[in-house]
Amino acid sequence: MATRQISADTGTANRTGLYLAVLQLVFTLGWTTYVIYLPKLAAEVGIAPSAVILILMLDQAIFTIADTAMGVAADKIAPYVGRLGLFVALVAAISCGAFVALPFVAGAGVAAQGWFIALIVVWSIASSALRAPPLTLLGKYRARPQVPFLAALALLGYGVAGAVSPYLGVVLREHDARLPFVISSVALLLTALAMSRIEYDVARDTPPPTPAEAAKPLGITSIIFIVATVALALGYQLHFAMNSAPFYLRFVRPDELQWLMPVFWIGFNIAMFPASLVVKHRGGLIVMGAAGLCGAVAIVAAELAGSLDTLVVAQFLAGAAWGCMLMSAISAALAIGSTGAEGKVTGLVFSALALGTFARMAAVAGGLQKMPDYAPLLHWAPVACWSVAGAGLLVIAAARLQGTPGLKASAGG
C-alpha cells in the first residue's frame, strides 16, 4: 500500500511539472509572437519604429513590479484549495482577451493608438499571474526533495520555447497577426483553466499550509540571493540577446543563425535535469554559484573562439549553465519562501529576470552596442555578472554550511 501511495504521489507530481512546462511553453511562445508582430502592429496605429523598444521596456517594467505583486497575491490565496486556480484562470482570461484584441484594434489605425497602448498595459499586468503563481504549487504542495526535478520539468517549456523561437520568427513574419494571436490566446487560456484541476490533485496528496502560517521577513541571504539573480539575469540577457548573434556572424551568414541560436537552449534543456539531483542534495545556492562561474568560463570561450565548432560547444555550455542557474533559482526561491512566502520569493525571481531584460533593452535603446567605446564593456559584462554573482553565491552557501549567524536560514537546500 505504501509503495502504491508513493507511486501515486510521484505520478501526480510529474503531471504537475508537465502541466507547468506546457504553461511556460505556451506563455513564452505567446510572448515571442507578440515581439515578432509588435513593430508591424505599432506602425498601423502610428507609432514610430524607434518607439517599439520603449513599449517593450514598458512591458518589462510592468513585469518587474507585477510579478512580485502576483506572487504575494498567490501566497494569500493558496491556502484555500481551488482559489489559486480560479485566480490564475480569471486573470489569464483578462490577459488573453487583451492579447487577442491587439491586432484587431491596431487595424483601426491611428485613432486607436491609445486603446492599443492600454491593451498592452492590461496584458502585461495580467500576464504576471501566469509566471510566479503557478510555480507556487511546487513549493506549497510538493515535498522539498521533489522540487528541483519539478522545477527543471516546468522550465523545460521555457527552454523549448527559446529553442523554437528563431523558427517561429521565420514562419510568422509574413503572415497576418490575427490568427497567431487568437491561436496562442486560446491555447494559453485552456492551459490556465486546467490549473484548478491540477491544484485539487496535488492538494489531495499534500495538505496546504494553513492561513495562520505567517511568512517570515526576508533575511540577508534572501536579499543577496535576489541581487545575485538580477546580476545573473543581466549576464544572460547581454550574452544571448546581444552578443551571441555577432559571435556566430564571425563564421556564418545571417540566414544560418536560425539553426545555430537554438544550441544555447539545447544545453539549457539538457543540463537542468542532472543538475536538479545536485540541488536536491546540496541546495540551490551552491549550484547557482558553480553554474555562474562555469558559465562565465563558457562565455570567455565563446568570445575567444577561433572556429565555429569551438563556438558551438561554448554556446552549448553557456546555455547549460544558464539552465542550471534558473532551475536552481526557482528551487532556492521555493525553499527560502517555505514559511508561506513561496509566491513572494518566486515573484521576486521573475521580477529580477524582467529587470535584467529591461536593462538590456535600455542598453539597446541607448545605442551602446553601436558605440565603439562601449563594445568591450558589452562583451565582457556578462562574464563579470556571472562570475561575481556566482562567487558571491558560493560564499553565502559556504557560510551557511558553516553555520554563520544570519546566513544559515533557508537558502535553497
Identify the band that residue 338 occupies on the pLDDT scale cut at 50, 70 and 90. confident
CA distance 130 to 152: 17
| Contact between 112 and 105 (Cβ < 8 Å) | yes
The residue type at 290 = A
With CA atoms as reference, report the closest residue to 331 among 221, 216, 412: 412
**Secondary structure string (H, E, C) spanning 161-217:** HHHHHHHHHHHHCCCCCHHHHHHHHHHHHHHHHCHHHHHHHHHHHCCCCCCCCCCCC
Listed in sequence order, the DSSP H helices in 217-261 are 220-236, 244-249, 257-260
CATH 3.40.50.9100 fits 1-213, yes or no: no
For cell 558559465, what's the residue? 295
Looking at every residue in the chain, the average pLDDT score rounds to 86
The pLDDT assigned to 173 comes to 74
Instruction: Assess whether pLDDT exceeds 50 at residue 408.
Output: no
DSSP state of 31: H
The pLDDT assigned to 197 comes to 76
Any idea where the domains of the chain sit in the sequence?
1-213, 217-413
Superfamily grouping for domain 217-413: MFS general substrate transporter like domains (1.20.1250.20)
For cell 503557478, what's the residue? 134
What distances in angstroms separate CA 195 from CA 87, 129, 145, 184, 207, one per listed residue?
Answer: 10, 12, 23, 17, 17
DSSP secondary structure of 113-144: HHHHHHHHHHHHHHHGGGTHHHHHHHHHHS-G
The pLDDT assigned to 8 comes to 40
Same fold, 1-213 and 217-413: yes
C-alpha cell, 353: 529576470
CA dihedral sign of residues 177, 179, 183, 189 = positive
C-alpha cell, 388: 561575481
- Per-residue burial over 90-104, b if 16 or more Cβ lie within 10 Å, else e, is ebbbebbebbbbbbe
Identify the band that residue 83 occupies on the pLDDT scale cut at 50, 70 and 90. confident
CA distance 208 to 210: 6
CA 109, distance to chain mean position in Å, is 33
Instruction: Assess whether pLDDT exceeds 70 at residue 141.
Output: no
| Contact between 318 and 267 (Cβ < 8 Å) | yes
Write the pLDDT tens digit of every residue in 185-224: 999 999 888 877 777 777 666 655 544 445 556 678 788 8
DSSP secondary structure of 294-331: HHHHHHHHHHH--SHHHHHHHHHHHHHHHHHHHHHHHH
The pLDDT assigned to 411 comes to 45
The residue type at 362 = A
The pLDDT assigned to 174 comes to 74
Write the pLDDT tens digit of every residue in 344-399: 999 999 999 999 999 999 988 888 877 777 778 888 999 999 999 999 999 988 88
What pTM did the predictor assign? Answer: 0.89
- 341, exposed or middle or buried, with CB in 10 Å at 0-12, 13-18, 19+? buried
CA distance 220 to 217: 10
| Contact between 42 and 51 (Cβ < 8 Å) | yes
| Contact between 302 and 311 (Cβ < 8 Å) | yes
The pLDDT assigned to 215 comes to 52
For cell 554556446, what's the residue? 315
CA 332, distance to chain mean position in Å, is 14
Instruction: Assess whether pLDDT exceeds 90 at residue 115.
Output: yes
| Contact between 334 and 151 (Cβ < 8 Å) | yes
